[in-house]
Amino acid sequence: MHEFPDTARLLHPLWLNEAIRLHELHNPPLEDSQACRSARQQGKTLSERILLRNLALAKREGLEDALQHWQAASRWLGILLMLLALATGAGLALSAFNRQADSINIVWALLGLLGLHLLTLLFWLAGFVYRPQQPSQFMQLPLGLLQRLSRSPRTAQLSAALFSLLGRHRLLPAALSRLVHGWWALALLGALLCSLLLLGTHRYAFAWETTIASADSFVALVQGLGRPLQLLGFTLPDASLIRASGEQLLSDESARQAWASWLMGMLVVYGLLPRLLLALWFQWHWQRGTRQLKLDADSPDWHWLHTRLQPETQVIDPEPQLMPQPAKTGNAHAAAHTSGCLAALELEPPLHWPVNPPDSLRWLGNLDGYAAQQALLEQLTGTACEQFILACDARRSPDRGSLHFISELAALCPAFSIWLLHTEGDSQRLSGWQQALNTLGIAHTLRAPWLEDSHD
Protein backbone atom coordinates (compact mmCIF):
# COMPACT_ATOMS: atom_id res chain seq x y z
CA MET A 1 0.00 0.00 0.00
CA HIS A 2 1.43 3.36 -1.00
CA GLU A 3 1.21 6.05 1.70
CA PHE A 4 2.19 9.67 1.17
CA PRO A 5 2.22 12.76 3.41
CA ASP A 6 -0.95 14.84 3.44
CA THR A 7 0.76 17.75 1.68
CA ALA A 8 1.60 15.52 -1.26
CA ARG A 9 -1.33 13.09 -1.06
CA LEU A 10 -2.25 13.68 -4.69
CA LEU A 11 0.91 15.15 -6.17
CA HIS A 12 3.38 12.36 -5.41
CA PRO A 13 1.36 9.42 -6.79
CA LEU A 14 0.57 11.35 -9.97
CA TRP A 15 4.21 12.42 -10.19
CA LEU A 16 5.37 8.79 -10.18
CA ASN A 17 2.54 7.95 -12.56
CA GLU A 18 3.80 10.60 -15.00
CA ALA A 19 7.37 9.29 -14.71
CA ILE A 20 6.20 5.83 -15.80
CA ARG A 21 4.14 7.35 -18.63
CA LEU A 22 7.12 9.26 -20.00
CA HIS A 23 9.37 6.22 -19.69
CA GLU A 24 6.97 4.03 -21.65
CA LEU A 25 6.39 6.83 -24.16
CA HIS A 26 10.05 6.86 -25.19
CA ASN A 27 10.87 3.20 -24.46
CA PRO A 28 9.17 -0.19 -24.89
CA PRO A 29 6.38 -0.80 -22.33
CA LEU A 30 7.52 -2.29 -19.04
CA GLU A 31 6.64 -5.86 -18.12
CA ASP A 32 3.54 -5.36 -16.00
CA SER A 33 1.70 -8.68 -15.62
CA GLN A 34 1.90 -8.75 -11.83
CA ALA A 35 1.23 -5.00 -11.57
CA CYS A 36 -1.88 -5.28 -13.73
CA ARG A 37 -3.22 -8.23 -11.75
CA SER A 38 -2.79 -6.40 -8.46
CA ALA A 39 -4.38 -3.28 -9.92
CA ARG A 40 -7.38 -5.24 -11.17
CA GLN A 41 -7.84 -6.78 -7.75
CA GLN A 42 -7.51 -3.55 -5.72
CA GLY A 43 -8.79 -0.79 -8.01
CA LYS A 44 -12.50 -0.03 -8.16
CA THR A 45 -12.38 2.37 -11.11
CA LEU A 46 -10.24 2.47 -14.23
CA SER A 47 -8.39 5.55 -12.98
CA GLU A 48 -7.51 3.78 -9.72
CA ARG A 49 -6.31 0.70 -11.59
CA ILE A 50 -4.09 2.76 -13.90
CA LEU A 51 -2.61 4.60 -10.94
CA LEU A 52 -2.05 1.41 -8.91
CA ARG A 53 -0.41 -0.28 -11.88
CA ASN A 54 1.99 2.62 -12.44
CA LEU A 55 2.79 2.99 -8.74
CA ALA A 56 3.69 -0.70 -8.57
CA LEU A 57 5.98 -0.28 -11.59
CA ALA A 58 7.50 2.87 -10.09
CA LYS A 59 8.33 1.01 -6.88
CA ARG A 60 9.81 -1.91 -8.82
CA GLU A 61 11.91 0.37 -11.03
CA GLY A 62 13.28 2.30 -8.04
CA LEU A 63 11.45 5.55 -8.76
CA GLU A 64 9.76 5.62 -5.36
CA ASP A 65 13.13 5.48 -3.58
CA ALA A 66 14.53 8.02 -6.04
CA LEU A 67 11.65 10.37 -5.17
CA GLN A 68 12.57 10.18 -1.49
CA HIS A 69 16.19 11.06 -2.37
CA TRP A 70 14.86 13.89 -4.57
CA GLN A 71 12.86 15.28 -1.66
CA ALA A 72 15.78 15.02 0.76
CA ALA A 73 18.05 16.79 -1.75
CA SER A 74 15.40 19.46 -2.37
CA ARG A 75 15.26 20.22 1.36
CA TRP A 76 19.03 20.76 1.45
CA LEU A 77 18.79 22.85 -1.70
CA GLY A 78 16.02 24.90 -0.09
CA ILE A 79 18.29 25.66 2.87
CA LEU A 80 21.10 26.71 0.53
CA LEU A 81 18.76 28.96 -1.46
CA MET A 82 17.47 30.58 1.73
CA LEU A 83 21.02 31.36 2.83
CA LEU A 84 21.75 32.69 -0.66
CA ALA A 85 18.65 34.91 -0.46
CA LEU A 86 19.75 36.37 2.86
CA ALA A 87 23.27 36.91 1.52
CA THR A 88 21.84 38.60 -1.57
CA GLY A 89 19.74 40.90 0.60
CA ALA A 90 22.76 41.81 2.68
CA GLY A 91 24.67 42.55 -0.52
CA LEU A 92 21.92 44.87 -1.73
CA ALA A 93 21.96 46.75 1.57
CA LEU A 94 25.76 47.08 1.56
CA SER A 95 25.70 48.37 -2.01
CA ALA A 96 23.21 51.06 -1.01
CA PHE A 97 24.78 52.05 2.34
CA ASN A 98 28.57 52.02 2.14
CA ARG A 99 30.10 52.19 5.60
CA GLN A 100 33.19 53.88 4.16
CA ALA A 101 31.16 56.86 2.94
CA ASP A 102 29.57 59.52 5.15
CA SER A 103 27.24 60.81 2.43
CA ILE A 104 24.73 58.72 0.50
CA ASN A 105 23.41 59.58 -2.96
CA ILE A 106 19.66 58.99 -2.62
CA VAL A 107 19.18 57.94 -6.24
CA TRP A 108 22.02 55.39 -6.18
CA ALA A 109 20.88 54.04 -2.82
CA LEU A 110 17.38 53.52 -4.21
CA LEU A 111 18.73 51.77 -7.30
CA GLY A 112 20.98 49.62 -5.15
CA LEU A 113 18.07 48.44 -3.03
CA LEU A 114 15.43 47.98 -5.74
CA GLY A 115 17.20 47.90 -9.11
CA LEU A 116 17.97 44.17 -9.34
CA HIS A 117 14.58 43.27 -7.88
CA LEU A 118 12.71 45.40 -10.43
CA LEU A 119 14.81 44.11 -13.32
CA THR A 120 14.17 40.45 -12.44
CA LEU A 121 10.48 41.24 -11.87
CA LEU A 122 10.25 42.52 -15.45
CA PHE A 123 12.01 39.39 -16.74
CA TRP A 124 9.61 37.20 -14.78
CA LEU A 125 6.60 39.11 -16.11
CA ALA A 126 7.81 38.71 -19.69
CA GLY A 127 8.35 34.98 -19.21
CA PHE A 128 5.01 34.57 -17.45
CA VAL A 129 3.20 36.20 -20.37
CA TYR A 130 5.08 34.77 -23.35
CA ARG A 131 6.51 31.44 -22.06
CA PRO A 132 4.38 30.37 -19.09
CA GLN A 133 4.94 26.61 -19.52
CA GLN A 134 8.72 26.70 -19.99
CA PRO A 135 11.18 27.07 -17.10
CA SER A 136 13.72 29.84 -17.55
CA GLN A 137 17.47 29.33 -17.64
CA PHE A 138 17.56 30.71 -14.11
CA MET A 139 15.37 27.82 -12.94
CA GLN A 140 17.60 25.27 -14.68
CA LEU A 141 20.49 26.10 -12.34
CA PRO A 142 18.80 24.81 -9.14
CA LEU A 143 17.70 21.67 -10.98
CA GLY A 144 21.29 20.91 -11.97
CA LEU A 145 22.40 21.45 -8.38
CA LEU A 146 19.53 19.26 -7.18
CA GLN A 147 20.70 16.42 -9.42
CA ARG A 148 24.17 16.65 -7.89
CA LEU A 149 22.83 16.68 -4.35
CA SER A 150 20.50 13.70 -4.80
CA ARG A 151 23.19 11.52 -6.46
CA SER A 152 20.51 9.46 -8.15
CA PRO A 153 20.42 8.65 -11.88
CA ARG A 154 16.63 8.97 -11.69
CA THR A 155 16.67 12.65 -10.68
CA ALA A 156 16.57 13.96 -14.24
CA GLN A 157 13.70 11.57 -15.02
CA LEU A 158 11.74 12.75 -11.98
CA SER A 159 12.39 16.42 -12.79
CA ALA A 160 11.15 15.93 -16.36
CA ALA A 161 8.08 14.09 -15.06
CA LEU A 162 7.31 16.88 -12.58
CA PHE A 163 7.51 19.59 -15.22
CA SER A 164 5.39 17.50 -17.59
CA LEU A 165 2.75 16.82 -14.94
CA LEU A 166 2.51 20.46 -13.87
CA GLY A 167 2.47 21.61 -17.47
CA ARG A 168 -0.38 19.26 -18.36
CA HIS A 169 -2.45 20.61 -15.46
CA ARG A 170 -1.38 24.26 -16.04
CA LEU A 171 0.27 24.47 -12.64
CA LEU A 172 3.83 25.08 -13.79
CA PRO A 173 3.60 28.92 -13.73
CA ALA A 174 2.19 28.86 -10.20
CA ALA A 175 4.78 26.32 -9.02
CA LEU A 176 7.73 28.31 -10.32
CA SER A 177 6.35 31.77 -9.50
CA ARG A 178 5.69 30.99 -5.84
CA LEU A 179 9.30 29.85 -5.47
CA VAL A 180 10.75 32.84 -7.34
CA HIS A 181 8.73 35.45 -5.44
CA GLY A 182 9.21 33.67 -2.14
CA TRP A 183 12.97 33.73 -2.69
CA TRP A 184 12.93 37.43 -3.52
CA ALA A 185 10.68 38.23 -0.56
CA LEU A 186 13.25 36.59 1.72
CA ALA A 187 16.09 38.43 -0.03
CA LEU A 188 14.37 41.81 0.34
CA LEU A 189 13.56 41.05 3.97
CA GLY A 190 17.26 40.41 4.47
CA ALA A 191 18.03 43.71 2.72
CA LEU A 192 15.58 45.54 5.01
CA LEU A 193 17.06 44.06 8.19
CA CYS A 194 20.62 44.69 7.08
CA SER A 195 19.76 48.27 6.05
CA LEU A 196 18.21 48.95 9.45
CA LEU A 197 21.35 47.57 11.09
CA LEU A 198 23.58 49.85 9.00
CA LEU A 199 21.38 52.89 9.57
CA GLY A 200 21.31 52.16 13.29
CA THR A 201 25.08 51.87 13.65
CA HIS A 202 26.36 54.58 11.26
CA ARG A 203 25.60 58.29 10.71
CA TYR A 204 24.78 59.03 7.06
CA ALA A 205 24.05 62.31 5.33
CA PHE A 206 21.76 62.13 2.29
CA ALA A 207 21.92 64.15 -0.90
CA TRP A 208 20.79 63.98 -4.49
CA GLU A 209 22.52 65.27 -7.61
CA THR A 210 21.36 65.90 -11.16
CA THR A 211 22.53 67.86 -14.17
CA ILE A 212 19.67 67.60 -16.63
CA ALA A 213 16.61 67.45 -14.30
CA SER A 214 15.18 70.36 -12.37
CA ALA A 215 14.65 70.45 -8.63
CA ASP A 216 10.89 70.61 -9.12
CA SER A 217 10.97 67.37 -11.13
CA PHE A 218 12.86 65.59 -8.37
CA VAL A 219 10.47 66.92 -5.73
CA ALA A 220 7.49 65.65 -7.74
CA LEU A 221 9.16 62.26 -8.18
CA VAL A 222 10.00 61.79 -4.50
CA GLN A 223 6.57 62.89 -3.29
CA GLY A 224 4.72 60.93 -5.98
CA LEU A 225 6.53 57.70 -5.11
CA GLY A 226 6.25 58.42 -1.40
CA ARG A 227 2.48 58.86 -1.10
CA PRO A 228 1.77 55.11 -0.64
CA LEU A 229 4.49 55.06 2.05
CA GLN A 230 2.50 57.39 4.27
CA LEU A 231 -0.30 54.81 4.51
CA LEU A 232 2.15 52.50 6.33
CA GLY A 233 3.50 55.21 8.61
CA PHE A 234 6.74 56.06 6.81
CA THR A 235 7.93 59.68 6.71
CA LEU A 236 7.68 61.63 3.44
CA PRO A 237 10.24 64.47 3.10
CA ASP A 238 8.62 67.84 2.41
CA ALA A 239 9.46 69.94 -0.66
CA SER A 240 11.81 72.29 1.18
CA LEU A 241 13.84 69.40 2.59
CA ILE A 242 14.09 67.76 -0.83
CA ARG A 243 15.34 71.00 -2.46
CA ALA A 244 17.79 71.64 0.37
CA SER A 245 19.22 68.12 0.07
CA GLY A 246 20.03 68.83 -3.57
CA GLU A 247 22.04 71.92 -2.67
CA GLN A 248 24.06 70.78 0.36
CA LEU A 249 24.55 67.98 2.87
CA LEU A 250 22.13 68.40 5.73
CA SER A 251 23.48 67.41 9.12
CA ASP A 252 20.38 67.80 11.26
CA GLU A 253 18.76 64.68 12.65
CA SER A 254 15.31 65.30 11.19
CA ALA A 255 16.67 65.35 7.63
CA ARG A 256 18.63 62.14 8.17
CA GLN A 257 15.66 60.33 9.69
CA ALA A 258 13.25 61.57 7.01
CA TRP A 259 15.41 60.29 4.15
CA ALA A 260 16.17 57.02 5.95
CA SER A 261 12.46 56.45 6.56
CA TRP A 262 11.66 57.26 2.91
CA LEU A 263 14.25 54.77 1.62
CA MET A 264 13.06 52.00 3.96
CA GLY A 265 9.47 52.72 2.96
CA MET A 266 10.41 52.47 -0.72
CA LEU A 267 12.07 49.12 -0.03
CA VAL A 268 8.97 47.81 1.76
CA VAL A 269 6.26 49.20 -0.52
CA TYR A 270 7.92 48.67 -3.91
CA GLY A 271 10.05 45.67 -3.03
CA LEU A 272 9.06 43.45 -0.13
CA LEU A 273 5.27 43.81 -0.26
CA PRO A 274 4.82 43.10 -4.02
CA ARG A 275 7.02 40.01 -3.81
CA LEU A 276 5.28 38.79 -0.65
CA LEU A 277 1.80 39.31 -2.11
CA LEU A 278 2.76 37.58 -5.37
CA ALA A 279 4.27 34.65 -3.43
CA LEU A 280 1.10 34.27 -1.34
CA TRP A 281 -1.15 34.56 -4.41
CA PHE A 282 0.70 31.87 -6.35
CA GLN A 283 0.95 29.69 -3.23
CA TRP A 284 -2.85 29.83 -2.91
CA HIS A 285 -3.23 29.07 -6.62
CA TRP A 286 -0.77 26.17 -6.24
CA GLN A 287 -2.60 24.63 -3.27
CA ARG A 288 -5.96 24.97 -4.98
CA GLY A 289 -4.60 23.37 -8.14
CA THR A 290 -2.95 20.44 -6.37
CA ARG A 291 -6.18 19.66 -4.54
CA GLN A 292 -7.87 19.30 -7.93
CA LEU A 293 -5.25 16.99 -9.42
CA LYS A 294 -6.59 13.71 -10.75
CA LEU A 295 -5.74 11.10 -13.34
CA ASP A 296 -7.80 11.29 -16.52
CA ALA A 297 -8.38 7.68 -17.56
CA ASP A 298 -10.02 8.85 -20.81
CA SER A 299 -6.83 10.54 -21.99
CA PRO A 300 -5.37 9.03 -25.19
CA ASP A 301 -2.21 8.29 -23.19
CA TRP A 302 -4.00 5.49 -21.34
CA HIS A 303 -6.19 3.97 -24.06
CA TRP A 304 -3.75 1.12 -24.61
CA LEU A 305 -4.12 0.10 -20.94
CA HIS A 306 -7.91 -0.03 -20.86
CA THR A 307 -8.25 -3.65 -22.00
CA ARG A 308 -5.32 -4.82 -19.86
CA LEU A 309 -6.83 -3.39 -16.71
CA GLN A 310 -10.41 -4.52 -17.17
CA PRO A 311 -11.45 -7.15 -14.59
CA GLU A 312 -11.09 -10.66 -15.92
CA THR A 313 -14.23 -12.77 -16.25
CA GLN A 314 -12.74 -15.71 -18.12
CA VAL A 315 -13.13 -19.18 -16.58
CA ILE A 316 -9.95 -21.25 -16.43
CA ASP A 317 -10.14 -24.29 -18.67
CA PRO A 318 -13.97 -24.55 -18.51
CA GLU A 319 -14.10 -28.15 -19.69
CA PRO A 320 -10.72 -29.70 -18.87
CA GLN A 321 -9.83 -33.13 -20.06
CA LEU A 322 -9.74 -34.90 -16.73
CA MET A 323 -7.30 -37.72 -16.03
CA PRO A 324 -8.66 -41.13 -15.02
CA GLN A 325 -9.52 -40.98 -11.33
CA PRO A 326 -11.49 -43.13 -8.95
CA ALA A 327 -15.03 -41.93 -8.44
CA LYS A 328 -15.33 -39.42 -5.60
CA THR A 329 -18.39 -39.41 -3.41
CA GLY A 330 -19.17 -37.23 -0.45
CA ASN A 331 -16.04 -35.08 -0.85
CA ALA A 332 -17.58 -31.86 -2.15
CA HIS A 333 -17.42 -30.17 1.23
CA ALA A 334 -13.82 -31.20 1.80
CA ALA A 335 -12.76 -30.03 -1.66
CA ALA A 336 -14.23 -26.62 -1.02
CA HIS A 337 -11.96 -26.22 2.01
CA THR A 338 -8.76 -27.66 0.55
CA SER A 339 -5.73 -25.46 0.19
CA GLY A 340 -3.88 -27.70 -2.30
CA CYS A 341 -4.04 -27.18 -6.06
CA LEU A 342 -2.83 -29.17 -9.04
CA ALA A 343 -2.50 -27.88 -12.60
CA ALA A 344 -0.69 -28.84 -15.79
CA LEU A 345 1.31 -26.58 -18.08
CA GLU A 346 0.56 -27.16 -21.77
CA LEU A 347 0.50 -30.95 -21.59
CA GLU A 348 -0.45 -32.68 -24.83
CA PRO A 349 -3.78 -34.58 -24.72
CA PRO A 350 -4.79 -37.10 -23.71
CA LEU A 351 -3.70 -36.51 -20.12
CA HIS A 352 -2.48 -39.82 -18.73
CA TRP A 353 -1.10 -39.35 -15.24
CA PRO A 354 1.47 -41.83 -13.89
CA VAL A 355 -0.21 -41.78 -10.49
CA ASN A 356 -3.71 -40.65 -9.54
CA PRO A 357 -3.64 -37.43 -7.40
CA PRO A 358 -5.20 -37.56 -3.92
CA ASP A 359 -8.62 -36.09 -3.22
CA SER A 360 -7.04 -33.24 -1.22
CA LEU A 361 -5.68 -31.63 -4.41
CA ARG A 362 -8.08 -29.46 -6.39
CA TRP A 363 -7.64 -29.91 -10.15
CA LEU A 364 -7.41 -26.58 -11.98
CA GLY A 365 -7.02 -27.90 -15.49
CA ASN A 366 -4.44 -27.92 -18.25
CA LEU A 367 -3.15 -24.38 -18.79
CA ASP A 368 -2.91 -24.44 -22.56
CA GLY A 369 -2.10 -20.95 -23.78
CA TYR A 370 -1.40 -17.45 -22.48
CA ALA A 371 -5.04 -16.63 -21.73
CA ALA A 372 -5.54 -19.60 -19.40
CA GLN A 373 -2.25 -18.88 -17.62
CA GLN A 374 -3.13 -15.23 -17.02
CA ALA A 375 -6.61 -16.17 -15.84
CA LEU A 376 -5.10 -18.53 -13.26
CA LEU A 377 -2.75 -15.80 -12.01
CA GLU A 378 -5.73 -13.47 -11.79
CA GLN A 379 -7.62 -15.98 -9.68
CA LEU A 380 -4.70 -16.71 -7.36
CA THR A 381 -4.01 -13.00 -6.81
CA GLY A 382 -7.25 -12.84 -4.89
CA THR A 383 -7.19 -16.31 -3.28
CA ALA A 384 -3.88 -18.13 -3.20
CA CYS A 385 -3.31 -21.89 -2.72
CA GLU A 386 -1.07 -22.77 0.18
CA GLN A 387 0.29 -25.75 -1.75
CA PHE A 388 0.52 -25.71 -5.52
CA ILE A 389 1.86 -28.44 -7.80
CA LEU A 390 2.41 -27.67 -11.47
CA ALA A 391 3.00 -30.62 -13.81
CA CYS A 392 5.33 -29.91 -16.76
CA ASP A 393 6.46 -32.02 -19.69
CA ALA A 394 10.22 -32.50 -19.44
CA ARG A 395 10.40 -33.43 -23.13
CA ARG A 396 9.72 -29.79 -24.04
CA SER A 397 12.44 -27.18 -23.70
CA PRO A 398 11.88 -24.65 -20.89
CA ASP A 399 11.23 -21.49 -22.93
CA ARG A 400 11.47 -18.01 -21.49
CA GLY A 401 7.71 -17.46 -21.39
CA SER A 402 7.06 -20.66 -19.44
CA LEU A 403 9.78 -19.87 -16.90
CA HIS A 404 8.41 -16.34 -16.45
CA PHE A 405 4.92 -17.72 -15.81
CA ILE A 406 6.32 -20.28 -13.36
CA SER A 407 8.17 -17.57 -11.42
CA GLU A 408 5.01 -15.42 -11.21
CA LEU A 409 2.98 -18.41 -10.06
CA ALA A 410 5.58 -19.33 -7.44
CA ALA A 411 5.43 -15.79 -6.03
CA LEU A 412 1.72 -16.22 -5.31
CA CYS A 413 1.89 -19.61 -3.57
CA PRO A 414 3.67 -20.25 -0.25
CA ALA A 415 4.49 -23.90 -1.10
CA PHE A 416 5.11 -24.28 -4.82
CA SER A 417 6.77 -27.16 -6.65
CA ILE A 418 7.19 -28.46 -10.20
CA TRP A 419 6.40 -32.06 -11.09
CA LEU A 420 8.41 -33.05 -14.16
CA LEU A 421 6.72 -35.72 -16.31
CA HIS A 422 8.23 -37.95 -19.02
CA THR A 423 11.74 -37.66 -17.66
CA GLU A 424 12.98 -40.84 -19.26
CA GLY A 425 13.16 -39.41 -22.77
CA ASP A 426 15.67 -36.61 -23.35
CA SER A 427 18.25 -36.23 -20.56
CA GLN A 428 19.61 -33.00 -22.02
CA ARG A 429 16.24 -31.27 -21.86
CA LEU A 430 15.65 -32.68 -18.38
CA SER A 431 18.95 -31.16 -17.31
CA GLY A 432 17.90 -27.85 -18.84
CA TRP A 433 14.68 -27.89 -16.81
CA GLN A 434 16.51 -28.70 -13.60
CA GLN A 435 19.12 -26.02 -14.16
CA ALA A 436 16.51 -23.36 -14.97
CA LEU A 437 14.39 -24.25 -11.91
CA ASN A 438 17.44 -24.26 -9.65
CA THR A 439 18.31 -20.78 -10.93
CA LEU A 440 14.82 -19.60 -10.03
CA GLY A 441 15.01 -21.30 -6.64
CA ILE A 442 11.90 -23.42 -7.30
CA ALA A 443 11.54 -26.91 -5.85
CA HIS A 444 11.03 -29.71 -8.40
CA THR A 445 10.66 -33.46 -8.38
CA LEU A 446 10.57 -36.36 -10.83
CA ARG A 447 7.99 -38.27 -8.80
CA ALA A 448 4.50 -37.40 -7.74
CA PRO A 449 4.96 -35.01 -4.77
CA TRP A 450 2.24 -36.70 -2.71
CA LEU A 451 4.09 -40.02 -3.01
CA GLU A 452 7.28 -38.38 -1.75
CA ASP A 453 5.35 -36.85 1.16
CA SER A 454 3.89 -40.25 2.01
CA HIS A 455 7.31 -41.86 1.75
CA ASP A 456 8.79 -39.23 4.06
Q: What is the mean pLDDT of residues 286-292?
A: 90
- Summarised one tens digit per residue, pLDDT across range 216-239 is 888 898 888 988 988 888 988 888
Whether pLDDT at 255 is above 50: yes
- Alpha carbon distance 141, 138 (integer Å): 6
Count of beta carbons in the 10 Å neighbourhood of residue 306: 13
pLDDT at position 148 is: 67
Mean pLDDT of the chain: 81
Q: Note the pLDDT of residue 352.
A: 67
408, amino acid identity: E
Instruction: With beta carbons less than 8 A apart as the criterion, state whether 398 and 436 touch.
Output: yes
Least confident segment among 102-111, 192-201, 323-332: 323-332
Q: Please give the pLDDT value at position 303.
A: 85
What's the confidence (pLDDT) of residue 191?
96
Indicate the pLDDT class of residue 251, thresholds 50, 70 and 90: low
- The pTM of the full predicted model, rounded to 2 decimals, is 0.69
pLDDT higher than 90, residue 283: yes
| CA–CA distance, 20 with 53 (Å, rounded to integer) | 10
Res. 151: pLDDT tops 80: no
pLDDT digits (tens, 9 = 90+) for 378-407: 788 767 678 899 988 888 878 888 888 888
Note the helical H segments in 202-271.
215-230, 239-247, 253-267
Could you report the per-residue pLDDT of 308-356, keeping only the tens digit for each? Answer: 787 654 433 444 433 333 333 333 333 333 468 888 888 877 666 666 7
Q: Rounded to whole angstroms, how far apart are CA atoms 196 and 190?
A: 10
Is it the case that residue 448 has pLDDT exceeding 90? no
pLDDT digit string, tens, across residues 125-146: 888 887 766 666 666 666 666 7
Helices (H), 43-154: 46-60, 63-96, 106-130, 137-150
Rounded Cα–Cα distance for residues 185 and 117 (Å): 10
pLDDT at residue number 407: 87
Q: How confident is the model at residue 284 (pLDDT cuts 50, 70, 90)?
A: very high
Sketch out the chain's domains with CATH numbers. Answer: 63-291 (no CATH), 332-455 (3.40.50)
What is the rounded average pLDDT of the residues 254-282?
93
Give the whole-angstrom CA distance, residue 40 versus residue 36. 6
Q: Is the pLDDT of residue 357 over 50?
A: yes
